[in-house]
Amino acid sequence: MKLKEFLSVRGIEFESVNVLEGTSGLSDLRKLGARSVPVLSRGDQWVFAQNIGHVVKFLGLNEKTGPVLSPDELAARTDLILSTAIRLIPQMPARHLTTEVPNRPRSYKVLSFHIFQIQEVFLEMANGATLTYEALAKPPHEGLNTFADIAAFGETIRASYMAWWAAKSDHSGKDTVQTYYGPQTLHETMERATWHSGQHVRQWIMLLEMAGIMPDSPLTPADYAGLPMPTNAWDG
């Protein structure tokens, strides 16, 4: 669930600030000492809002938070999401490679790559690297020139993910991993990576439909069950 959605459904008043280059919002963000969004601030105090549990603690709310699905269930759901993306991405006509998606300056090529980039960066973090905001915003790798290329790259990521999980002896998800928004449990970051990739596959399905193409066995609402999916398909 996105920060705005979380606050709105609880009736918490807030002000949304634009942090694009050249805005006062960006200046305010830098004064706080934050380098990325979303951030929730109150006076000079602030917290990264990637983890709703941190938001709950920051606001002093008495709510239970945390992943609904177990790590094993999240791994299986990630496998399903990536497998679906691998099947659906090549359905898009090549002429759309440089077309921008609705509501943001991101091309279809970048969006399709980002579905797998999320999991590529997640695996690097799970293996000891610190997750950085910049790593999630890098352009597609050299040599990924077609949707078929991106789908083939996605298969290598899917295989690496499943091999990592199969080889991991501890499936509790209690390991601590390092991110740009602070130390997190592996379980929490698995959930975030799973729904994040799922959200973009959800968008891809809509783009295919907008192009008049019937998606081949798309994800269904049941495939998103238990994940904190944003209400708006174009959030994320």
> What is the average per-residue pLDDT within 151-157?
98
Domain boundaries, the chain: 3-59, 71-224
91: pLDDT strictly greater than 60: yes
Calculate what percentage of the chain has a pLDDT beyond 70. Answer: 72
The predicted pLDDT at position 109 comes to: 98
pLDDT band at 60 (very low <50, low <70, confident <90, very high): low
Q: What does pTM read for this prediction?
A: 0.78
Sign of CA dihedral 131, 133, 136, 139: negative
The predicted pLDDT at position 3 comes to: 60
Under CATH, which architecture does the 71-224 domain have?
Answer: Up-down Bundle (1.20)
2: pLDDT strictly greater than 60: no
Distance separating alpha carbons of residues 2 and 18, to the nearest angstrom: 16
The predicted pLDDT at position 103 comes to: 80
Alpha helix segments (H runs only) across 89-185? 108-126, 147-167
pLDDT band at 189 (very low <50, low <70, confident <90, very high): very high
The predicted pLDDT at position 198 comes to: 98
Distance separating alpha carbons of residues 149 and 17, to the nearest angstrom: 38
